[in-house]
Amino acid sequence: MTGAATPPTIGVFDSGFGGLTVLRALIDRLPHARYAFIGDTARLPYGSKSRRTIARYAIESAQFLVHEQGAEFLVIACNTASALALDAIRDSVPVPVLGVIEPGAEAARAASHTGDVLVIATDATVQSHAYTAACHARGLRVIEKACPLLVPLVEEGWTDHPVTAEVIRIYLDELNAAAASQHMQPDALVLGCTHYPLLRSLIQSSVAPGVQVIDSAAAAAEAAARSFPGVLAAQAGEEHTIIRCFATDSVEKFERLGSRFLGRPVGEVGLVDLGG
Amino acid sequence: MTGAATPPTIGVFDSGFGGLTVLRALIDRLPHARYAFIGDTARLPYGSKSRRTIARYAIESAQFLVHEQGAEFLVIACNTASALALDAIRDSVPVPVLGVIEPGAEAARAASHTGDVLVIATDATVQSHAYTAACHARGLRVIEKACPLLVPLVEEGWTDHPVTAEVIRIYLDELNAAAASQHMQPDALVLGCTHYPLLRSLIQSSVAPGVQVIDSAAAAAEAAARSFPGVLAAQAGEEHTIIRCFATDSVEKFERLGSRFLGRPVGEVGLVDLGG
């Protein structure tokens, strides 16, 4: 537990490593805060699973961060869990909880002039229609597309590979055809999965000119800074970033791959058994 | 539980749908037996996870099949679980347990004239070196290669897609280069993952002439028929195949995709909570 003199701890949760891109954006914005990150690597990926199962898993991780790591704010750095389980997580812990869907939709609203937005995400996120609801609430038209091969391609390390470029082209062609059939003129594309920022350069070169690519990780970090003003006020209390990382499966793999997402060494990773 | 007049129940376990290709081969060989199949879809895939986690998950499914479905024989229709957890599963249940690794290696021995064998499989299966051990025990030389993108490509339904053909070509080129560097002359390729038989035609057209493609699912079904003679003797007791399927996540998805692997409708699928 954190004492009165220390800054609040921000708990960050993802199904795997991808959420480290959100942690990275949070550190850029709030470098002097304390962070506890857990990746539920024993049960990833969430993107192909059901709402009931995703909610059960996510609640266990949220409670670990709050009850065992003293997190006073939670950022759900997983689009799938944010889309399908945000209310369930909020009901399960006594601290403020921020997901990545609403910040992503808000960033799309700010970026789009035509009011027509594209979203690429996992199967489960798309089927939840969470981005559609968040965009409609802001007066935007939106088409979502599931891109289930992109996460495995990132995890294979093919982030700058011709096969990945071809898969992205196929997915975006289908998405653009769907938009054209509805007479939409999209000018913003939301990366609705925390793995996708690692494909940003390939995606950027595949979108039509004038379409802005929106990283929901950066948008979520901005929203966190606004939502948790206590962190901003207190963060001067630490001289450097304090990060504790946990995983539910192989910590060696986490330590090896995690730095690719975090952009710095993840340090020693603790193994956690959530009972699943 | 099965009564004295009924044939024994064969329990078949996989992390997901892929093991239905083993069940399909078992039904071809033993059409009048009873089958209970469980796919641990809430926690798939196993191929990227650690031995400890895979063993814990596999034991829970094995005990479900034996204690709740009355299985008197178990077939571990998952290469990853066979490679990393066969002994742990055998220690956890009081019935005979057959994996797919030994039958696959045995089929390679029977097929190969040069004694040089290739194996493609998941990350975890390759890192376990279980196929290498099983091949060495039979006097074969072997090179294994992890092909982590093939399962997602099958699950995307791209079983006859140019991208999949290109990914297979890249993986097999790397494998053939490794074999050439060791002066091997491989004439057999083992499909060391139950998803891969759905890519058989693409793989067959990518291997060098004279290389025989070996389906470990068919080999395991043959071994099961030999290992469990009681099933053969008793199977005349049923007039048609009886199959009960269970999954730990969305049964709708299982019912929808499962028939692609089983080659017939999977019927009603029961939802099981293994507590994870």
pLDDT digits (tens, 9 = 90+) for B111-140: 999 999 999 999 999 999 999 999 999 999
pLDDT in tens, B7-64: 789 999 999 888 999 999 999 888 888 999 999 999 988 988 999 999 999 999 999 9
| A-B contacts (CB, under 8 Å) | 63
Task: Determine the Cα–Cα distance for residues B138 and B134; give it in Å rounded to an integer.
Answer: 7
Torsion angle of the four alpha carbons B261, B267, B272, B276, in this order, in degrees rounded to the nearest 10: 20
Beta strands at B9-14 and A269-271: parallel, antiparallel or unpaired: unpaired
Residue B245 scores a pLDDT above 90: yes
Chain B residue numbers touching A42 (CB-CB < 8 A) = 43, 49, 53
Reported pTM: 0.90
pLDDT in tens, A133-160: 999 999 999 999 999 999 999 989 999 9
Report CB contact under 8 Å: A42, B48.
Answer: no
- In sequence order, what are the residues at sequence separation of 6 or more whose Cβ sits closer than 8 angstroms to the Cβ of residue A102? A134, A223
Asked if CATH classification 3.40.30.10 holds for the domain at B101-217, the reply, yes or no, is no
Asked if CATH classification 3.40.640.10 holds for the domain at A101-216, the reply, yes or no, is no
Q: Is the ipTM of this complex over 0.90?
A: no
Residue B4 scores a pLDDT above 50: no
Identify whether B78 is a catalytic site residue.
Answer: yes
Report CB contact under 8 Å: B167, A166.
Answer: no
Q: Does residue A163 belong to the interface with chain B, where contact is any CB pair within 8 Å? A: yes
Domains A9-99+220-271 and A101-216 share a fold: yes
**Which residue ranges make up each domain of chain B?**
9-99+220-271, 101-217
Q: Residue A235: its pLDDT value, please?
A: 52
Identify whether A135 is a catalytic site residue.
Answer: no
Residue B64 CA neighbour count, 13 Å, CB half = 25
**Helix (H) or strand (E) run with residue A267 in it:** none
Question: Any idea which fold A9-99+220-271 has?
Answer: Rossmann fold (3.40.50)
For the ranges A23-37, A116-130, A202-216, B171-185, the lowest mean pLDDT is seen at A23-37
CB atoms within 10 A of CB B236: 9
Q: Does residue A149 belong to the interface with chain B, where contact is any CB pair within 8 Å? A: yes
Residue B3 scores a pLDDT above 60: no
Residue B235 scores a pLDDT above 60: no
Residue A246 scores a pLDDT above 70: yes
B30, B98 contact by CB (below 8 A): no
